[in-house]
């Protein structure tokens, strides 16, 4: 008896999720695939794309690959099987994504990439790329200015296997390394993570108490570093982040973190869906495949206008 | 038992290898061609600059350079309209408008000690700086790259390679400049270069391809 | 009167027991039926193959894991072995082995597969040695190799991805992409490979002395040792087999993506354990079946793919997956109790 009741309950649970998700409607479907929504940046992308898709009359299937190229590959399979008309993707690796996008193309499903590019041209219809390199240079220029072109500093790098970690670090160094008086005394990965950045920052302060500035590969690590600095009574250390999250905006307004760089995630995702719509209706997007979206420097001057990865006019 | 399994495995592997082993001289063919990955970026970009900088880009900027006053007036009305008339947008909608620009003005201030050295010029004679001429060695922005219609982002491996081209072009431009050695404040400077603008109110940060300092 | 009522009671209990014993299968049918009804296009032949292909990756690991768990151990390193083996495959395809004497050895597809599998087996062997000869607890030993293998994978490419693993026809490695993409009789090669591995594993488990020894070691290690089972060797074998299964997964993923990424396979070990447990393998050892594990892997895989196709939020997907695993273990406990009661009743 208990068993059949259990079965009933589980059937009911499944039925509930079914109705929650909504059954197949007649509308054309667009798959929106991003890394995990636990990062507000990717959440903003997914929300932006989904809103635009609904506005244009599509049904959106939102999926997450958590930066796992294999999972992404499986999601492409499922999206193709589910009969989507187009795929909007923030990919899980410049090289590791090529095969999946090509597979979709071979099945006649166009892909529209946002945020990050892949290393092959001609297989995706659009690649709307955040200009991380330009953004990093912006951040580094501001950092150099704040530091007065000199002094010891530390760098926190993102997850080493992530292309963007490398791109941003290169962008920073392209600028900073041209100032011989700026000395990098520590250089560590904190895997994009706030708690890890906190720990790494604490150790760095032990080894190099002379640190005057910290440049971080993203905002969550900047937040972690800032917390460690404040806990150690070193609120004077200059911290610069990257992403333009609301948390860092608030910190900038309270004169904590000094600057960050905004990637227009929300706008980018919406443009991708618009281009997908245009492509589905007319067979072309009218723009080049690879498009760069420039990043914007956020500091005390404009931080007030920042909200969920979009800058108010 | 163990030894049997082990020797069987070793035998199987050895058999497979003798069947199809291919030994090849190391480095043959791979050094001759440029690596397709990141390590080949600089070589590819050097080739691009060799082919395009002097023969195409410099003449293009000289022939399409707009006077500072004309450009400022046009931007004052509408950046987008000015961009469509005189400029070129690098890659995509989010990018800045880039313009070729020329002019003559009086140096109001100069920061020659900074690594990002610059000369600030007053063009219209009101005593305040109208344009900032970056003379390097650190040069910001990618105006030279983005003004040229023949560099398309789609042809590049990734944004790093594309950005490296921007830097290499800046370096090529700055290398050819006659750098002032002593204070130049008050002197007259004539320049030709490129500038990128995201919004109408921005400072004109020029990447020069030539400057002439009148005595 | 008494006898009749007792008999009736017994038969209804044993009917329940039968359902319980087949619970993974029942769950499979339920899950499959539900998504066939609720998720659009789920039932298309194409999608069934796709789902099977996805399940195969986890199933390989789960089969290896099942043996390990039956011996009372655990292998946390499989996900990292997947990653390291994918990187080794990528390295061999792109660069071969440079002997440092001006010669580079290039390999064909079969050789690459063999080398990669040897790498997986060697890591499994290290696990086994740590556990048997050095007396490290399996959880700790394989946790250590988890980190070491992942670190080695990251070091191999400095964190970058090995791109364009199309192979080179000159070396006979252009067939590499067939491992993940190729079909035989319209069924993907990876599924055929799984069928072969699973059949061999099931045969070994059920019909060979080694199989009996594996169960004996897990059921009562000291007893097994006293009755002449070479416990250390049995353990060494199961970890080596688990490593080899992981190597196969690394090969398949590198081939499917035509790229190898050092983070490949992160948390795969947890899915493998989940499939084994869902299939009725007891974490305390001595009990488990390959067939059950395969079905368990299918339940998890169908659940994952089906929810994706229905557009269920990723956060809910995680919750539901966890709930299914917990439910499976709870039902397992109920079954154990019932079974003990039936045995008692039969004795009376």
Q: What is this model's ipTM?
A: 0.79
pLDDT by position in tens, chain B (length 215): 566 666 666 656 655 555 445 555 544 444 445 666 777 888 888 888 888 888 888 889 899 888 988 988 888 888 888 888 888 887 666 678 899 999 999 999 888 887 778 899 898 888 888 899 998 788 888 888 888 888 888 888 888 888 888 888 988 888 888 888 777 888 899 999 999 888 887 888 899 999 888 87
Are C312 and A21 a contacting pair at CB < 8 A? Answer: yes
CA distance B28 to chain A (A): 25
Domain B38-213 is found in CATH 3.40.50.170:
no
Element (DSSP H or E) covering residue A1: none
pLDDT in tens, C245-285: 999 999 999 998 888 888 889 889 999 999 999 988 988 88
A63 contacts chain C (CB < 8 A) = yes
CATH node for A132-262:
3.40.50.2300
Mutate which: B42, B92, B116, B143, vs A, most A CBs within 10 A: B92
User: Can you give the three-state secondary structure of A16-77, one letter per residue?
Assistant: HHHHHHCCCCCCCEEEEEECCCCCHHHHHHHHHHHHHHHHCCCEEEEEECCCCHHHHHHHHH
Question: Does the pLDDT at position C13 exceed 80?
Answer: no
Q: What's the pLDDT at A22?
A: 43
Query: CA-CA-CA-CA torsion for B68, B74, B75, B80, nearest 10 degrees?
Result: -130
| Set of chain C residues whose Cβ sits within 8 Å of the Cβ of B16 | 110-111, 114
| Alpha carbon B171 to chain centroid, angstroms | 8
Q: What's the pLDDT at B30?
A: 44
Q: What's the pLDDT at A3?
A: 46
How many whole angstroms separate alpha carbon C307 and alpha carbon C303? 6
How many whole angstroms separate alpha carbon A189 and alpha carbon A118? 23
With CA atoms as reference, report the closest residue to B141 among B107, B101, B86, B85: B101
List, as ranges, residues 141-170 from B with C-beta within 8 Å of C.
Answer: none
Contact C155, C89 (CB under 8 A): no
How many whole angstroms separate alpha carbon C323 and alpha carbon C299? 13
DSSP letter (8 states) at residue B146: H
| Alpha carbon C131 to chain centroid, angstroms | 20
Indicate whether C149 belongs to any domain. yes
B8 contacts chain C (CB < 8 A) = no
Q: What's the pLDDT at A242?
A: 94
Are B16 and C171 a contacting pair at CB < 8 A? Answer: no
| Set of chain C residues whose Cβ sits within 8 Å of the Cβ of B17 | 111
Q: What's the pLDDT at C234?
A: 93
Question: Does the pLDDT at position C40 exceed 80?
Answer: no
Are B163 and A291 a contacting pair at CB < 8 A? Answer: no
A114-118, A187-191, A213-217 — which one is most confidently predicted on average?
A213-217
- Between residues B71 and C8, which one has the greater pLDDT? B71
Residue showing tokens 């199987």: B12
Bridge partner list, A112: A88, A126
Tell me how crowded residue A103 is: count the other CB atoms within 10 A of its CB. 18
Domain ranges of chain B: 1-36, 38-213
Q: What's the pLDDT at B8?
A: 66
Question: What distances in angstroms separate CA C46 from CA A78, A110, C167, one per listed residue?
Answer: 10, 19, 27
pLDDT in tens, C91-112: 988 888 877 777 778 888 888 8
- Between residues C22 and A55, which one has the greater pLDDT? A55
pLDDT in tens, A34-47: 998 888 889 999 99
Range in A177-181, A271-275, B46-50, C166-170 with the lowest mean pLDDT: C166-170
CA distance C200 to chain B (A): 16
Nearest to B160 among A133, A178, A179 (CB): A133
With CA atoms as reference, report the closest residue to C37 among B92, A171, A82, A18: A18
How many whole angstroms separate alpha carbon C116 and alpha carbon C108? 12
Q: What's the pLDDT at B94?
A: 62
> Residue range C75-88: average pLDDT?
95
Chain C residue nearest residue B1, CA to CA: C233
- 3 state SS of B19: helix
A121 contacts chain C (CB < 8 A) = no
Neighbours of chain A (3+ CB pairs under 8 A): B, C
How many whole angstroms separate alpha carbon C51 and alpha carbon C85? 24
Q: What's the pLDDT at C63?
A: 96
| Set of chain B residues whose Cβ sits within 8 Å of the Cβ of C102 | 25-27
B32 contacts chain C (CB < 8 A) = no
Nearest to A63 among C40, C308, C327 (CB): C308
Domain ranges of chain A: 24-130+265-293, 132-262
pLDDT in tens, A9-19: 444 444 444 44
Question: Does the pLDDT at position A4 exceed 60?
Answer: no
Q: How many CA atoms lie within 13 A of C190 on its CB side?
A: 30
CA distance B140 to chain A (A): 8
Contact C101, C184 (CB under 8 A): no
Indicate whether C3 belongs to any domain. no
- In angstroms and rounded to an integer, the radius of gyration of the C-alpha atoms of chain C is 22
Query: Looking at chain A, how many residues does it have?
Result: 313
> Residue range A193-203: average pLDDT?
91
Q: Can you give the CATH number for the domain in which C63 is found?
A: 1.10.3470
Nearest to C261 among A11, A17, A161 (CB): A161
Q: What's the pLDDT at C300?
A: 92
Sheet order of strands, A182-189 included: A182-189, A151-157, A213-216, A238-240, A259-262, A296-299
How many whole angstroms separate alpha carbon A26 and alpha carbon B145? 47
C233 contacts chain B (CB < 8 A) = yes
Chain A residue nearest residue B153, CA to CA: A290
Sign of CA dihedral C183, C268, A94, C164: negative
DSSP C24-47: HHHHHHHHHHHHHHHSTTTTSHHH
- Measured at the CA of A259, the angle between CA A258 and CA A264, to 5 degrees, comes to 155
Which residues, at least 6 apart from C248, have a Cβ–Cβ distance to it below 8 Å?
C60, C117, C120, C193, C197
How many whole angstroms separate alpha carbon B88 and alpha carbon B192? 17
- Between residues A216 and A3, which one has the greater pLDDT? A216
The strand pair at B22-25 and C103-106 is best described as: antiparallel
Indicate whether C17 belongs to any domain. no
Are A96 and C260 a contacting pair at CB < 8 A? Answer: yes
- Between residues C17 and B149, which one has the greater pLDDT? B149
Q: What's the pLDDT at B92?
A: 60
| Set of chain A residues whose Cβ sits within 8 Å of the Cβ of B79 | none
Q: How many CA atoms lie within 13 A of C265 on its CB side?
A: 38
How many whole angstroms separate alpha carbon A279 and alpha carbon C104? 47
Chain A residue nearest residue B96, CA to CA: A294
Nearest to A3 among C19, C253, C259 (CB): C19
C184 contacts chain B (CB < 8 A) = no
Nearest to B24 among C106, C172, C233 (CB): C106
Which residues, at least 6 apart from B113, have a Cβ–Cβ distance to it below 8 Å?
none
Q: What's the pLDDT at A40?
A: 84
Neighbours of chain B (3+ CB pairs under 8 A): A, C
Expressed as residue numbers, the domain containing C156 is: 22-347
How many whole angstroms separate alpha carbon A74 and alpha carbon C38? 20
C110 contacts chain B (CB < 8 A) = yes
DSSP letter (8 states) at residue A122: S
Residue showing tokens 């050095």: C134
Domain A24-130+265-293 is found in CATH 2.40.30.10:
no
Domain count for chain C, please give it.
Answer: 1
Are A119 and B158 a contacting pair at CB < 8 A? Answer: yes
């Amino acid at each position: 008896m208990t068993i059949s009741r259990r079965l009933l309950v589980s059937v009911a649970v499944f039925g509930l999720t079914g109705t929650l998700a909504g059954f197949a409607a007649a509308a054309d479907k667009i798959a929106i695939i991003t890394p995990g929504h636990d990062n507000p940046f990717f959440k903003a992308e997914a929300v932006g794309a989904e809103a635009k898709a609904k506005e244009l009359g599509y049904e959106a299937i939102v999926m997450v690959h958590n930066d796992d190229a294999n999972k992404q590959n499986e999601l492409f399979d499922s999206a193709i099987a589910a009969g989507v008309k187009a795929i909007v993707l923030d990919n899980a690796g410049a090289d590791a994504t090529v095969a999946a996008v090509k597979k979709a193309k071979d099945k006649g499903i166009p892909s529209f990439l946002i945020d990050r590019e892949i290393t092959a041209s001609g297989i995706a219809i659009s690649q709307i790329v955040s200009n991380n390199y330009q953004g990093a240079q912006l951040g580094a220029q501001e950092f150099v200015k704040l530091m007065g072109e000199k002094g010891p500093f530390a760098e926190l790098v993102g997850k080493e296997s992530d292309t963007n970690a490398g791109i941003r670090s290169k962008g920073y160094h392209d600028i900073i390394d041209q100032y011989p008086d700026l000395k990098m005394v520590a250089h560590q990965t904190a895997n994009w993570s706030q708690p890890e950045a906190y720990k790494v920052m604490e150790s760095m302060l032990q080894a190099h108490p002379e640190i005057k500035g910290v440049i971080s590969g993203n905002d969550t690590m900047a937040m972690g570093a800032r917390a460690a600095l404040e806990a150690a009574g070193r609120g004077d250390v200059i911290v610069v982040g990257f992403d333009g999250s609301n948390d860092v905006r608030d910190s900038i307004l309270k004169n904590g973190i000094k600057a960050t760089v905004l990637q227009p995630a929300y706008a980018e995702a919406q443009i991708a869906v618009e281009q997908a719509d245009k492509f589905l209706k007319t067979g072309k997007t009218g723009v080049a495949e690879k498009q760069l979206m420039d990043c914007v420097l956020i500091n005390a001057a404009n931080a007030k206008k920042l909200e969920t990865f979009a800058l108010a006019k | 038992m163990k030894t049997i399994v082990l020797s069987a495995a070793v035998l199987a592997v050895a058999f497979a290898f003798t069947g199809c082993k291919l030994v090849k001289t190391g480095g043959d063919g791979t050094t001759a061609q440029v690596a397709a990955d990141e390590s080949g970026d600089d070589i590819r970009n050097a080739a691009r600059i060799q082919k395009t900088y002097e023969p195409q880009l410099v003449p293009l900027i000289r022939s399409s350079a707009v006077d500072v006053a004309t450009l400022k007036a046009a931007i004052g009305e509408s950046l987008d309209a000015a961009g469509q008339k005189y400029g070129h947008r690098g890659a995509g909608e989010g990018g800045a408008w880039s313009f070729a620009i020329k002019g003559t003005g009086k140096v109001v201030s100069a920061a020659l000690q900074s690594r990002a050295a610059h000369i600030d010029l007053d063009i219209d004679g009101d005593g305040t700086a109208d344009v900032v001429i970056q003379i390097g060695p650190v040069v910001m922005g990618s105006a030279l790259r983005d003004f040229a219609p023949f560099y398309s982002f789609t042809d590049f491996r990734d944004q790093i390679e594309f950005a490296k081209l921007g830097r290499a072009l800046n370096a090529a431009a700055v290398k050819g400049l006659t750098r002032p050695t002593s204070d130049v404040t008050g002197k007259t400077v004539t320049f030709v270069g490129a500038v990128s603008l995201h919004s109408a109110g921005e400072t004109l940060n020029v990447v020069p391809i030539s400057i002439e300092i009148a005595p | 009167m008494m006898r009749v009522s007792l008999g009736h009671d017994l038969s209804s209990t044993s009917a329940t027991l039968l359902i319980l014993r087949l619970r993974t299968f029942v769950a499979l049918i339920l899950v499959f039926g539900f998504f066939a009804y609720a998720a659009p296009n789920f039932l298309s032949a194409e999608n069934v193959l796709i789902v099977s292909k996805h399940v195969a990756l986890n199933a390989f690991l789960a089969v290896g894991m099942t043996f390990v768990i039956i011996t009372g151990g655990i292998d946390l390193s499989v996900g990292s072995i997947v990653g390291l083996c994918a990187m080794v495959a990528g390295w061999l395809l792109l660069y071969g082995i440079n002997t440092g004497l001006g010669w580079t050895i290039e390999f064909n597809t079969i050789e690459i597969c063999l080398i990669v599998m040897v790498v997986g087996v060697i890591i499994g062997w290290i696990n086994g040695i740590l556990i048997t000869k050095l007396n490290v607890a399996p959880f700790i030993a394989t946790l250590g190799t988890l980190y070491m293998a992942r670190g080695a994978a990251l070091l191999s490419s400095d964190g970058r991805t090995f791109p364009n693993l199309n192979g080179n026809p000159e070396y006979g490695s252009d067939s590499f992409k067939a491992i993940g993409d190729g079909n035989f009789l319209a069924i993907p090669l990876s599924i055929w490979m799984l069928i072969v591995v699973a059949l061999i594993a099931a045969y070994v488990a059920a019909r060979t002395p080694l199989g009996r020894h594996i169960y004996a070691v897990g059921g009562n290690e000291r007893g097994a040792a006293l009755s002449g089972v070479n416990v250390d060797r049995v353990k060494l074998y199961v970890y080596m087999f688990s490593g080899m299964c992981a190597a196969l997964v690394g090969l398949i993923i590198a081939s499917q993506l035509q790229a190898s990424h050092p983070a490949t396979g992160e948390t795969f070990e947890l899915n493998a354990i989940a499939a084994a447990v869902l299939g009725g393998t007891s974490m305390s050892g001595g009990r488990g079946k390959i067939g059950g594990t395969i079905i368990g892997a299918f339940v998890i895989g169908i659940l994952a793919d089906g929810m994706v196709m229905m557009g269920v939020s990723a956060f809910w997907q995680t919750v539901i997956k966890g709930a299914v695993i917990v439910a499976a273990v709870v039902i397992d406990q109920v079954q154990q109790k019932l079974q003990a009661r039936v045995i008692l009743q039969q004795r009376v």
